Amino acid sequence: MQKIIKYVITDILRNKIMLAYTAFLLILSFSIFSLEDSPSKGLLSMLNIVLIIVPLMSIIFSTIYIYNSAEFIELLVSQPLRRKTIWLSLFAGLAGSLSIAFLAGAGIVVLIYEPSITGLMITVTGVFLSVIFSAIAMLAAVTTRDKAKGIGTAILLWLYFSLLFDGLVLFLLFQFSDYPMEKPMILVSLFNPIDLSRILILLKMDISAMMGYTGAIFKDFFGTGTGILISFIVLLLWIVLPVGLSVRKFNNKDL
């Protein structure tokens, strides 16, 4: 397994996109922190990068990479290797290099300028989002044989998680504005890893005071130790479930 991971990572490093991504994050985060007068304002801008660019990059790069490794996968499947090993190694290589790129490009800068619990929270959720979205990409790529369809699905999934889902939530809130929706909202937010990360980070910032009653309810749940534990378990589930499902599909796939 380690050997295959090694080959996957060397292959990813050989196509320079991952290095460009790291450099891009590095330049962006440095300029954000030097432009803003206080680091906590910089964190707010970093939040948007973590919540939008990281998932986009992870899901699209991973999907395209899986499709491009079709030959590599085919070569390995005829060898005495367990299919699960091949698939998990691909995932580990992808998720690992995406996380390292994020840590090197954004995580370290954040921790330098804002070595607080908020900075740590942004870094940790950024890594989680990198891994979660490559897990979702694995599932999208194994489900469809057609490359264009698979990449299209990946982009739509990203759109859904970063834009459409919020729209749906707002719609729900308006429709049920006569009812107390704060508690159900906590449950709903668990269904979107981006929303969950946003809430986790925002609650560690001062601006959470401005979110009113909903903010208070959220703080009641996500602010406590159990709340944070549950959120991270849910984030873990967002990794385990797509990967587990994709392994099952890959095991029965005809190559």
Instruction: Please answer whether residues 65 and 13 qualify as being in contact, where contact means their C-beta atoms are separated by less than 8 angstroms.
Output: no
Dihedral of alpha carbons 92, 97, 98, 104, sign: positive
Chain positions 66 to 105 lying near another protein, rule: CB under 8 A, are 69-72, 74-83
Residue 2 binds another protein, judged by CB under 8 A: no
Size of the site for another protein (CB under 8 A): 24
Q: Least distance from C-beta 203 to another protein, angstroms?
A: 45
Residue 37 binds another protein, judged by CB under 8 A: no
Amino acid at site 99: S
The pair of three-digit structure tokens given for residue 82, joined into one six-digit string: 């367990």
Residue 4 binds another protein, judged by CB under 8 A: yes
Instruction: Please answer whether residues 106 and 29 qualify as being in contact, where contact means their C-beta atoms are separated by less than 8 angstroms.
Output: yes
Residue 255 binds another protein, judged by CB under 8 A: yes
Residue 149 binds another protein, judged by CB under 8 A: no
Q: Which is nearer to another protein, 77 or 172 (CB)?
A: 77
Query: Can you tell me the distance from the alpha carbon of 129 to that of 55, in angstroms, rounded to the nearest whole number?
Result: 6
Q: Is 124 exposed, middle or buried (0-12, 13-18, 19+ CB in 10 A)?
A: middle
Q: Which is nearer to another protein, 76 or 136 (CB)?
A: 76
Query: Can you tell me the distance from the alpha carbon of 136 to that of 122, in angstroms, rounded to the nearest whole number?
Result: 21
Q: Least distance from C-beta 80 to another protein, angstroms?
A: 4
Q: Least distance from C-beta 205 to another protein, angstroms?
A: 44
**What totals of helices (H) and strands (E) does the chain contain, helices first?**
14, 0
The pair of three-digit structure tokens given for residue 147, joined into one six-digit string: 């490359």
Q: Which is nearer to another protein, 3 or 41 (CB)?
A: 3
Residue 147 binds another protein, judged by CB under 8 A: no
Residue 15 binds another protein, judged by CB under 8 A: yes
Q: Least distance from C-beta 62 to another protein, angstroms?
A: 17
Report residue 138 CA to chain centroid gap. 13
Q: Which residues bind another protein (CB under 8 A)?
A: 3-4, 7, 11, 14-15, 69-72, 74-83, 252-255
